[in-house]
Amino acid sequence: LLEIKSKRNIVNSNSISVLVNYGIALGQAKSLKHIKSLIENDLPDLREIAIIKFHQFSSWCLNILANNPEASVNEMLDLYRKINLQGLNKEGYLKGYPENITILPEVLESLSKMSPKEIQFYMIITLQYFTEQDHLWDSKGKYEHFLSKSMDLFVNNNKSLEYSINTVSENIIYFSPNYS
């Protein structure tokens, strides 16, 4: 039975409860130190869960961090990278945003409803992917349209722009060629 479950990527109830408990702990974290500790030390092993659960879990946790006032964009990026590292080892590889450009219109559509923290998160991972792939700027490209639309939102919303400017210096490390 275990062999069949592993071949079919069946998630058992113990795996689900571990994932749910982690998400709850992340949402209830009251300090930056606690959030960082959860990301660094307590992230569940995601290698044995089905790809659909993997995507649901990562989206859910990123949403929790986006809504936790104690978490910054840096914590969202750290969690995203740690989750993706586990996804790299999964059969079929994690085809999440921004590697899968088909998700981009969905993100773009919900952009106006996002918090400044979420917009900045998507901008950073888009820019990082863009530079890692050695893309040249194409004024009609999908990534370029997304980045332009994001900047328009920041410019038209002074609070968002202020948030972005205040955190840009913190996130500059993510564009460093030596960052891993």
> Which one-letter DSSP state was computed for residue 137?
P
Q: Are residues 172 and 107 in the same domain?
A: yes
Residue 75: the pLDDT is 92
The verdict on residue 126 lying in a domain is: yes
- Would the pLDDT of 2 be above 70? no
Q: Could you give the CA distance from residue 173 to residue 83 in angstroms, rounded to a whole number? A: 19
Q: Which of 111, 100, 99, 104 is nearest to 157 (CA)?
A: 111
- Would the pLDDT of 132 be above 50? yes
Q: List the beta strands (DSSP E) in the chain.
A: none
Q: Which of 79, 114, 136 is the last residue of a domain?
A: 79
Compute the CA torsion angle 10, 17, 32, 116 (nearest 10 deg).
60
Q: Are residues 69 and 118 in the same domain?
A: no
Residue 89: the pLDDT is 53
Count of structural domains within the chain: 2
* Segments forming the whole domain that contains residue 22: 1-79
- 14-31: per-residue pLDDT in tens? 678 888 899 999 999 999
- Can you give the pTM of this predicted structure? 0.72
User: CA of 55: how far to CAs of 3, 78, 80, 98, in Å?
Assistant: 23, 16, 11, 13
Q: What is the CA radius of gyration of the chain?
A: 17
Q: Are residues 122 and 180 in the same domain?
A: yes
Per DSSP, the residues of 97-116 read TTTSGGGHHHHHHHGGGS-H
Residue 93: the pLDDT is 38
- Would the pLDDT of 174 be above 70? no
Split at pLDDT 50, 70, 90, the class of 95 is very low
Q: Could you give the CA distance from residue 66 to residue 100 in angstroms, rounded to a whole number? A: 22
The verdict on residue 23 lying in a domain is: yes
Q: Are residues 58 and 111 in the same domain?
A: no
The verdict on residue 27 lying in a domain is: yes
